[in-house]
Amino acid sequence: MNIPSLLEIPENKVFKFSSANYNEEKNECVLLFLYSNNNKPTDEQKQSLIKNLQNLTENLCSLKVKFKQSYIDKEVALNLLNEFFQHNLPILLNNFTLNDITLEVSDEINISISCSENQKNIIYDNNNLNELQNFIQSNFFEPVNIVFNTEKQDKKLSEEDYQDINANTDLMKCLEKEQEINVVSVADVEILIGKEITKPPVFIEDIGLDEKEEVSVAGFLTNFLETDFIPKSSKEKGETTTKKKISFTITDTTGSIDIIAFPNDKNLEIYRTLEDNQQVLVNGFVNVFGNRKSLRINALSKCNILTLERQFVWRKEKPNYLCVKPEPMHDLVQMDLFSKQKNENSNFWNENHSVVVFDFETTGLNADNCQIIEIGAVKVENGVCVETFSTLVNPNCAIPEEIEKITGISTDMIAFAPTIDLVLPDFYKFTKDSVLSAYNIGFDIKFLQNAGKKLRYNFNNKQIDTLELARNKIPSLHNYKLSTVVKALDIVLEDAHRALNDAVATAKVFIKLI
């Protein structure tokens, strides 16, 4: 039904198409049209439009046509905008109110939105702007123009900020801070170096990148090393006097950290008594080199660790997508459900399961020190790609030059992208109750689970490695790079090393090989 063409008929220009709702059970379509308060249609014009619509449908369905008078009203327009942001982009409301919207009404509705550059980018991302324009235009007969004033400064969201966002969105319940059940606890403390350590020990993964922050950690000692070095001041004076440096590693259930000490003669003998796997309590100051953290020791004690196992209260799936929304994907490639070559994964292909094929671009290869900068994912149901999930992610650090060369993602590109704490809840919702697959999933899943652990989202989904599928199903290839596999399967991969493109190609590999 070509409604826009129909409305080009002169007698029908008093109407503006607003919406269409089709009831499949009743085979009934309800069309809503707006008309201006300044140009009310006659009954003859209404009947003429209905007749033309019935001719277009050719009795394919039962047709109902409704008409609604449209008023230009500032208060109504503001309330509609507020309604849109409440239901579609509530994450913006923490630093965004109706006072930031200016309306001018004449023959057109001109809307000026005062927001930060980051908020503007969130509105522009994932088709949000089109949805906003369509939402407004479907409620008013007059043309609607939207402009953005981006002089406003960003406000960094905190846990407390989330609680201020409109309660009707359930965001507070979804992102509220859960308490950890267990903390690090020690007993039988015996002082070896320095004074009594009164600062409670923290989990190693919770140590931040703040230089000179004082922290205490408890764990198992390994990699003890004693070395000689010439201090910089001595070198400058031409002296060759050496001093001692002690280093070792402390490991708990969440990670490891290097400990560094520069002992005097008395302390050196005490350090030499330390043994591998000994339980110790250390207090020191954080040093950061690159993304690698270490502690310069202040005090050291022997101890017995009573509790070193972290237990989480995992967050639950939130009801709505708030930052990144999935987009529908129309794909013609289907899995042969009647193939004789079945495998152990064939049980995943039933009406109760779906697969999310995903790919990350990151600042480096080490999931413990590097960050996610882009997420791309494809949802596969019954052998068909049905939805995509895609976003850049701001890692709060510069993109390394070598990563920019590989991916094409620059520091400028991610400057106004949402951070992982805003993106991950939506990705959790997208992947909930789905099997996870990736090309060499061991790499990507570690980044995902590390991020999930920090934000209390438990990505414990079943997993399938598409790389292993390729090795098993196509044993004759000279290598198993994604570019080689897609070429062998006659799949197009454009702009490789961008997350969504790689994820789409991997999904098509998955569909052909499963």
Whole-number Å distance between alpha carbons of 353 and 158 = 35
Active site residue 353: no
Helices (H), ranges, 34-116: 43-57, 74-88
Task: Give the span between the Cα atoms of 151 and 413, in whole angstroms.
Answer: 19
Those residues whose C-beta lies under 8 Å from the C-beta of residue 130, and which sit 6 or more positions away, are none
Q: Of 456, 455, 457, 453, nearest to 428 (Cα)?
A: 457
For every residue of 455-498, DSSP letters joined together read: HT------EEEHHHHHHHH-TT-S---HHHHHHHTT----STTS
Tokens of 423: 């993106």
Give the residue among 1, 472, 471 at the shortest CA–CA distance from 482.
Answer: 471
- Cβ contacts of 265 within 8 Å, gap of 6 or more: none
Note whether 160 and 276 are within 8 A (CB).
no
State how far the Cα of 193 lies from the Cα of 300, in Å rounded to an integer.
Answer: 5
At a CB cut-off of 8 Å and minimum separation 6, what does 284 contact?
214, 215, 259, 295, 296, 297, 298, 299
> Computed from CA positions of residues 69, 75, 80, 81, in that sequence, does the dihedral angle turn out positive or negative?
positive
Q: In Å, what is the CA distance from 292 to each residue of 366, 368, 450?
A: 11, 9, 16
Alpha-carbon distance of 434 to 463, in angstroms, equals 9
DSSP alpha helix (H) spans, 58-157: 74-88, 117-124, 128-137
Which residues are CB-contacts of 269 (< 8 A; sequence separation ≥ 6)? Answer: none
Which of the residues 330, 353, 478, 497 is marked catalytic?
Answer: 497
Alpha carbons 494 and 469: distance in angstroms, whole number: 22
Catalytic residues: 497
